């Protein structure tokens, strides 16, 4: 174990050196700002530039000014409801305006009335991933409300998964690396995803320590990240996939989504493949300039939206959700009287 850890450090010595050099440059930059501030603070003309280190520090810590932001409400039960969400970039450009949609939770019956699996599509640069992150609670610039599961019930899978340093068991259990899982159970999950040979491929089995981001292909890393969702404790109610199957063959992609479906897990995906339509109940087309459209999978053809946008005939936004029903959060949702600056919502468990 110790030898393997030392080997990893040696293999990454160049990256560590570059990181150290960057830290040194940042330190020198900060010292330069401080020196300028102390030496010029008494000069009236220069005080505006160099005499306000504290204000500069506050700005850096606070980040961009946010006059309004998307309100995230945690609601157990696995469902998601987006209410009048307007999504903006830090520069103020509107990506989506007044978006409303609802996805049923894991506790709701699969009656076909309220969709539970959403596919987000649209041309590159129109804000698909930003919409995804806003629903997941990772992007708050804008306005409106997003009702979503608590953090422990919602997992996010990026296109490039994070591979922490450690043994194979740690890779599978991340982020809950202390979870108690039997090796045989882990092996069964890997086998379902076509990675059953992984423990035997490296000396040490599940205790093998490798630089996993280097020894595994992009597709293997994506399947390993999907395996984390299947062994997670507690099981996720909703998975958010940001092009998380882009490196997989169509057959492996189908297998992954079928595994999620068989376990009753809801999901939201961003992707470009035509094959993705088969595994989703609802399609959100992000059209640019705030416009959007909700469609059934059989009504949409991937690629058609790109042509529409290029022709300058992008459809306008439509408020509402096909098959919309009462909120599916495993409880009764009640709205209190609104105050001018906020809306307080209660979740009353059944």
Question: Comparing 29-33, 88-92, 292-296, 340-344, which segment has the lowest mean pLDDT?
Answer: 340-344
Q: pLDDT at position 108, please?
A: 62
CA distance 293 to 171: 38
CA distance 28 to 336: 53
pLDDT band of 5, cuts 50, 70, 90: low
What pLDDT, on a 0 to 100 scale, did the predictor assign at position 11?
66
pLDDT at position 238 over 50: yes
The answer on pLDDT for 277 being more than 70 is yes
Question: For 277, which DSSP code?
Answer: G
The mean of the pLDDT values for the chain is: 77
Q: In whole angstroms, give the CA distance from residue 77 to residue 107.
A: 6
Q: Which one has a higher pLDDT value, 15 or 220?
A: 220
Tokens of 73: 């409400």
pLDDT band at 299 (very low <50, low <70, confident <90, very high): confident
3 state DSSP class of 332: strand
Lowest model confidence (mean pLDDT) among 62-71, 220-229, 233-242: 62-71
For 151-192, write each residue's pLDDT tens digit. 888 999 999 999 998 999 999 999 888 888 999 999 999 999
Higher pLDDT, 268 or 330: 268
**Per-residue confidence (pLDDT) for residue 45, from 0 to 100:** 41
Check residue 241 and give its pLDDT.
96
User: Can you tell me the distance from the alpha carbon of 222 to that of 229, in angstroms, rounded to the nearest whole number?
Assistant: 11
Could you tell me the residue ranges of all domains in the chain? 2-62, 71-149+237-329, 166-226
Measured distance CA(230)–CA(189) in Å, rounded: 7
> Given 2.170.16.10, 3.40.50.300, 3.60.20.10, 3.30.390.50, which CATH number is that of 71-149+237-329?
3.40.50.300
CA dist 172 → 5, 78, 205 (Å): 19, 23, 13
pLDDT of residue 331: 33
Higher-pLDDT residue of 26, 164: 164
Task: Tell me the average pLDDT across 71-83.
Answer: 90
Q: What is the DSSP letter of 251?
A: H
Q: Which of 242, 224, 117 is nearest to 167 (CA)?
A: 224
The arithmetic mean of pLDDT across residues 309-318, rounded, is 45
Per-residue pLDDT at 31 = 63
Give the whole-number percent of the chain exceeding pLDDT 90: 52
């Amino acid at each position: 174990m110790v030898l393997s850890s030392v080997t990893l450090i040696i293999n990454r010595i160049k990256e560590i050196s570059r990181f150290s050099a960057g830290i040194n440059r940042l330190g020198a930059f900060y010292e330069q700002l401080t020196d300028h501030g102390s030496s010029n603070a008494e000069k009236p003309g220069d005080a505006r530039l160099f005499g306000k280190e504290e204000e500069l520090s506050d700005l850096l810590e606070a980040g961009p000014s946010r006059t309004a932001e998307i309100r995230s409400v945690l609601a157990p039960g696995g469902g998601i409801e987006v209410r009048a969400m307007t999504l903006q970039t830090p520069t103020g450009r509107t990506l989506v305006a007044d978006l409303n949609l609802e996805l049923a939770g894991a506790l709701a019956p699969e009656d076909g009335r309220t969709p539970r699996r959403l596919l987000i599509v649209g041309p590159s640069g129109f804000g698909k991933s930003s919409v995804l992150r806003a629903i997941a609670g990772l992007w708050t610039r804008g306005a409106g409300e997003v009702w979503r599961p608590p953090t422990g019930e919602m997992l996010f899978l990026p296109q490039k998964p994070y591979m922490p340093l450690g043994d194979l068991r740690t890779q599978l259990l991340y982020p809950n690396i202390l979870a108690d899982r039997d090796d045989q159970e882990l092996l069964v999950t890997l086998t379902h995803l076509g990675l059953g040979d992984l423990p035997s491929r490296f000396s040490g089995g599940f205790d093998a320590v490798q630089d996993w981001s280097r020894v595994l292909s992009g597709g293997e890393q994506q399947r390993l990240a999907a395996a984390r969702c299947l062994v997670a404790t507690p099981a996720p109610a909703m998975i958010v996939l940001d092009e998380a199957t882009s490196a997989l063959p169509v057959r492996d992609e189908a297998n992954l989504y079928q595994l999620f479906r068989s376990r009753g897990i809801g999901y939201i995906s961003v992707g470009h493949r035509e094959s993705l339509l088969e595994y989703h109940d609802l399609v959100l087309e992000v059209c640019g300039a705030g416009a959007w459209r909700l469609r059934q999978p059989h009504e949409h053809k991937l690629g058609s939206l790109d042509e529409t946008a290029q022709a300058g005939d992008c459809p306008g936004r439509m408020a509402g959700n096909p098959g919309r029903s009462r909120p599916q959060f495993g409880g009764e949702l009640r709205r209190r009287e609104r105050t001018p600056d906020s809306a307080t919502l209660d979740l009353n468990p059944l």
